[in-house]
A and B are shown apart, each in its own frame.
Chain A
Amino acid sequence: MDKLIHDFSYGLFFWVAIIFVILIILMRKFAWKPILEALNAREEGITNALEAAENAKKELAQLNADNERILKEARIERDAMLKEARTLKDKIVADAKEEANEQADTIITNAKQAIEIEKQAALAELKSQVAGISIEIAKKVIKSELASEASQLELVEKSLKEVTLN
């Protein structure tokens, strides 16, 4: 220890202190600052690039998922459209049938009515004709048969038997 203290060189201490201060100042300005800045910039660049790659990957995955989803949706839509078309077709057919039935019914009803009317008319005409014929017959009978009372009655009866109302 005695020797160490005795050997302590103040001149060396002085120079080391001065040189070291100058060295630190120079190194800071010309070496460490640009080096550390460059390193930081590079590391940031790498981090950013990695992040960007990760983001791109995520985006791609997102895109794929989107495509899948859109495809699925399209498929569902198509199915729905097909289904709708089918129901529409069925409905149209059913509607047409119903309408046709209705129309047929109307036509039939109308026809029936017409027939009824015609029948009534025919019956009325027939009745009137029968009445006319009857009157004619009566006329004739009366003319021919009205000689005797008996023959008149017989004739009436005979005529009535002949003329049956359909």
Chain B
Amino acid sequence: MLKTPSSFKLLFTFAQILETINIQNRMIVKKNLRVLVALALVLMPFTSQATVEQHHDEAHPTDAQAQHHQEADHSGAHDENSHHETSEGAHDGISTQAEINAYTQHHLADSHDFTFFSDEKTGHHYGFPLPVILVDNGIKFFMSSEFHHGEELVEKDGQHYKLYHGKIYKTDAQGTIHYGENHYPTNEQPLDLSITKNVFSIIFISILLFLLFVNLAKGYKKGPIPTGFARVLEPLVIFVRDEIAKPNIGEKKYRKFMGFLLTVFFFIWITNLLGLTPLGINVTGNIAVTVCLALFTFFIVQFSANKDYWKHIFWMPGVPVPMKIVLAPIEVLGMFTKPFSLLIRLFANITAGHTVVMGLIALIYTGKALLGTGGSIGVSLLLTLFINVIELLVAFLQAYIFTMLSSLFIGMAVEEHDHH
């Protein structure tokens, strides 16, 4: 059972290493950068398709798993907490492949409280609750601790809410969950604007970023050369300016986009790095976050685009009229595939990284029978360390790629075509 996910994980690692090499090559052959990026973009639909499909495959066993749980819930419908009790009763801790998959999925998903670790035996969770904000005939505000990790219903203004698999559903007084044909709950969902774990992390990271860089900015008032930790940040700012923004957007126009590029670069990088810590947050591995970031790039590109850009999309100059007609829909599609590739790449890389690390840590339990306790811990630690070091690189790399491609797209949109 371990075989399929791990081979998929290895594939991802391999893909990441390939990407690293590719990027390094790009950095060496700077002149051919545009050609290479164009090529990468052409190939992007295939790779992103593959990525999504792999996820799909990966998701299947867990879907089946969830289905399993849901059916179990169905059969013991009288008992609300049967799901939790069945999973907690049989084993101490997480030891089976199914439980590991479920735990990994749980880690990858957002949650309504910040749990550092939990004792599966007693069902005690160590962490702190976060505020839940629901928009459902007015705003409902309460702490997530009222859900007791999904074990209890919350009743506000006569409406019952149930936390089920990380999502809040409206239920009747018994907390009945109805299932649709694809085994997802069909209960109505209120608009959930809760400060979830990811939102909390994002606020924390934003404050951290703000303090770090305001400190760097203040340092320049004392003297031209920053001191302390600011000295580490300065070369990175210069890197973003000189290696990402200037070559892709151009000396004249880069300044206007520096605010976005620098913010997105450091935001992704710090978020990725914090995702590697035992805090257990997974912000950039959440599709809603990457969709949002990619949409920023999309709108900035569209709103800063000049006449030439639109002309190249709808009426490509220098080609015969039939070709213009054929090219227009392709170019319009290209407008959307560019940010789409951004969001999928970041999401897939970080999700894969987290999955691999989780899987390797789980090796401690799954490999116990084969390697013995010491052996499995040793192997797991070694492999996890190895992947973590790669992930450190990937954390930076993904921030770099996201920013680099964003600036490249902006550069394409604001480019002056004098030769036409």
User: In the bound complex, do residue A30 and residue B220 qualify as a contact, i.e. CB atoms below 8 Å apart?
Assistant: no
Q: Does A166 contact B (CB under 8 A)?
A: no
| Contact digits for B196-228, partner A, Cβ 8 Å, 1 yes 0 no | 101100110010011001101110100010000
- What residues of chain B lie closer than 8 Å to A20, measured between beta carbons? 263, 267, 292-293, 296
Cβ-Cβ contact count across A and B, 8 Å cutoff: 123
Q: In A27-62, which residues have CB < 8 Å from any B CB?
A: 27-28, 30-36, 38-39, 41-42, 45
Contact A36 B210, CB 8 Å, known A16-B289, A17-B292, A31-B216? no
Q: Does B273 contact A (CB under 8 A)?
A: no
Q: Does A12 contact B (CB under 8 A)?
A: yes
Q: Does A24 contact B (CB under 8 A)?
A: yes
- For the complex of A and B, 3 pairs with smallest distance between CB atoms: A38-B220, A31-B213, A28-B259
User: In the bound complex, do residue A42 and residue B224 qualify as a contact, i.e. CB atoms below 8 Å apart?
Assistant: yes
A26–B287 CA distance with the chains assembled, in angstroms = 25
14 contacts between A and B (CB under 8 A): A1-B55, A11-B192, A12-B198, A12-B288, A16-B288, A20-B296, A23-B206, A24-B259, A32-B259, A33-B259, A35-B213, A36-B237, A38-B224, A45-B224
Q: Does A143 contact B (CB under 8 A)?
A: no
| Contact digits for B51-79, partner A, Cβ 8 Å, 1 yes 0 no | 01001100100010000000000000000
- What residues of chain B lie closer than 8 Å to A33, measured between beta carbons? 259
| Distance to closest chain A CB from B90 (angstroms) | 26
Contact A15 B199, CB 8 Å, known A30-B217, A32-B262? yes
| Contact digits for B272-315, partner A, Cβ 8 Å, 1 yes 0 no | 00000000000000111101110110000000000000000000
Contacts from A to B (Cβ < 8 Å): 1-4, 6-17, 19-20, 22-24, 26-28, 30-36, 38-39, 41-42, 45
User: In the bound complex, do residue B195 and residue A15 qualify as a contact, i.e. CB atoms below 8 Å apart?
Assistant: yes
| Distance to closest chain B CB from A4 (angstroms) | 6
| Distance to closest chain A CB from B180 (angstroms) | 10
A65–B104 CA distance with the chains assembled, in angstroms = 78
Please give the number of chain B residues whose Cβ is less than 8 angstroms from any Cβ of chain A in the complex.
50
Contacts from B to A (Cβ < 8 Å): 52, 55-56, 59, 63, 109-110, 133, 182, 184, 191-196, 198-199, 202-203, 206, 209-210, 213-214, 216-218, 220, 224, 234, 237-238, 241, 255, 258-260, 262-263, 267, 286-289, 291-293, 295-296
| Distance to closest chain A CB from B178 (angstroms) | 15
User: In the bound complex, do residue A27 and residue B289 qualify as a contact, i.e. CB atoms below 8 Å apart?
Assistant: no
Q: For residue A24, which residue of chain B has the nearest CB? A: B263
Contact A13 B220, CB 8 Å, known A35-B237, A39-B238? no
Main secondary structure, interface of A, reads helix
A9-B110, A20-B292 given; name 9 further pairs at CB < 8 Å.
Answer: A3-B59, A4-B55, A9-B288, A12-B199, A14-B193, A19-B199, A24-B259, A27-B262, A42-B224
- What residues of chain A lie closer than 8 Å to B209, measured between beta carbons? 23, 27
Contact with B260, one of A12, A22, A24, A35 (Cβ below 8 angstroms): A24
- What residues of chain B lie closer than 8 Å to A4, measured between beta carbons? 52, 55, 287
Most A Cβ at <10 Å: residue of B56, B63, B206, B259: B259
- What residues of chain A lie closer than 8 Å to B133, measured between beta carbons? 11
Q: For residue A16, which residue of chain B has the nearest CB? A: B292
User: In the bound complex, do residue A35 and residue B217 qualify as a contact, i.e. CB atoms below 8 Å apart?
Assistant: yes
